[in-house]
Amino acid sequence: MRPTAAAALTLALGALVAAVPVTAPPLPPAAVPASVLPVGPPMTRLAAAVGAGSPASQPARNPAASAADVPLPPPVDAEALPADGPPRALPGVRQDVQCSRGTHTPDAASVAALLWGQQVLALPQLGSLSSGRGVRIAVIDTGVSPHPLLAGRLRDGGDYVAGGNGLADCDGHGTAVAGIAAAAADPGTGFSGVAPAAQVISIRQSSPSFTVPGRGGVRQASGNLSTLATAVVHAVELGADVINISEVACAGPNAPGSAELHAAVRAALLRNVVVVAAAGNFGSGSSGECPGQPEAGTVVYPAWFDDEVLTVAAVGPNGLASQFSYPGPWVDVAAPGERLVSLAADGSGLTDQLSQVLSTSSIDGTSFAAPMVAGLAALIRARYPQLTARQVMDRITATAAQRASGRGDSVGYGAVNALAALTRTPAVLPPPSSVPANGDTGTLRLTPTPSDQAPAGPGALWGGAFSLLATLTAAALAVGRLRAGSTPAGDQLSDRSPGRRL
């Protein structure tokens, strides 16, 4: 995670108490938002189309366009936290597009070429270390359809779009996300999710197939920041250990619903839940989407709340940051997000394409990089159950394939190194230093570096924390100065893949 000025000043003291799990207070009650509909300037498109397309279809980005500084988020308003309750249909919701059942099923040879992401994460080696058993991953998305490779591990978490149980996916996006995070191994093709024994809680929070009444009588895609906040609270109450949010909204600071979302992700962290979010994809610039170039005055939700959220950018098979991946000072790590394969929403097997409202797209986007990291977080939580949510996030960032230039807006601290994240000792690792990168190119080293070190025992937890205190004290002061003075270029990102996911 990228420490902010305020957070950096507390790192040294936090290292001592971070060595053991803590029990957080229950979520406090708060008023439900008066309306689930967006109010004011364009803000969400949380349920717009899926994915931004392949890098080949994206124009070259202008690094100079991302030089404007981004404001820090305001303090968390605890009174804005939504109350939990049974998910209900959105007022005036209407299904405008028939649920898609047509998918492209690649043959075994084609699937083999699409498994590069699993190979980069070294999934066969990870299986001997952790499978994610006993860990619950909440997928807040377009729903997750039942599938044989999720059998016995898929739980209905509710539907904030149409009022169902969350186990209907008209768009295929949520099912693909869940498959990347937690599908069981498919013996016929070799495909597997990152955490193949983890449980999945499906919460439908948006869908481009459904619309709701908007301002001026114009209907808009379902889902907004307020409903996303409520879904996060609900996931926590359902017992999630990890929450994956492959949805984003690009808007100005303090957009309607942002206070509720900020309070929700903070409450999740306090309840010891790891929240993983997509960085967002460049959009077409239409209403509510992230712009085609980074723009001053635009932030990405929920990634902007970087103290509480682990934000994931996408990289391709060439080891470079994907051109569609929206950069920003909130980007923490990167993971494979191009030319992927996952579960088909019709339960027929695997697919390498998703059906959108009027077209189909390949499985590209930061939406699909995020569940790679959510699955990794589940593996860590199963292997090191004593670690807090913050410590899990620190392990992922501290073991990423960092470049000599340090952190950059394109890929954060670098591509995740799953094997190192599961084996590096001591068990409690410090967050990486927040040294801004000069001339960030997004170039990554994707080959995992094996570690032969054994995991630390309980005694190493306290020892590691005390040994880090002096280092963190100095680093906190330096990080505070860096964040207050000069944030790496590229702030204000947006998202998208068309709207949501990334």
Task: Give the catalytic positions in this structure.
Answer: 141, 173, 367
- In 3D space, the residue among 389, 443, 442, 309 whose CA is nearest the CA of residue 2 turns out to be 309
Q: Is 446 within 8 Å of 319 (Cβ atoms)?
A: yes
Determine phi and psi for 467, rounding to 5 degrees.
-65, -20
Compute the chain's Rg from CA coordinates.
20
In angstroms, what CA-CA distances link 217 with 92, 192, 213, 214, 248? 11, 45, 6, 6, 24
- In 3D space, the residue among 33, 40, 46 whose CA is nearest the CA of residue 220 turns out to be 46
Q: Is 99 within 8 Å of 174 (Cβ atoms)?
A: no
Strand partners, 156: 202
Residues 6+ apart with CB under 8 A from 307: 1, 3, 4, 7, 73
- B/e letters for 260-287, b = 16+ CB within 10 Å, e = fewer, are bbbbbbbbbbbbbbbbbbbbbbbbeeeb
Residues 6+ apart with CB under 8 A from 432: 397, 398, 400, 402, 407, 413
Six-digit token pair at 27? Answer: 């979520």
Find where tokens 């005036």 sit.
Answer: 92
Six-digit token pair at 40? Answer: 């004011």
Six-digit token pair at 125? Answer: 């080696």
H-type alpha helices, 316-457: 366-383, 389-398, 418-423
Determine phi and psi for 79, rounding to 5 degrees.
-70, -15
- In 3D space, the residue among 41, 26, 18, 4 whose CA is nearest the CA of residue 287 turns out to be 41
Q: In what order do the strands lie in the sheet with 94-95?
A: 94-95, 207-213, 219-222
Find where tokens 């605890």 sit.
Answer: 78
Find where tokens 């959220």 sit.
Answer: 309
Q: Is 138 within 8 Å of 242 (Cβ atoms)?
A: yes
Six-digit token pair at 209? Answer: 């197939």
Compute the Cα dihedral for 200, 423, 185, 336 and give only its sign.
positive
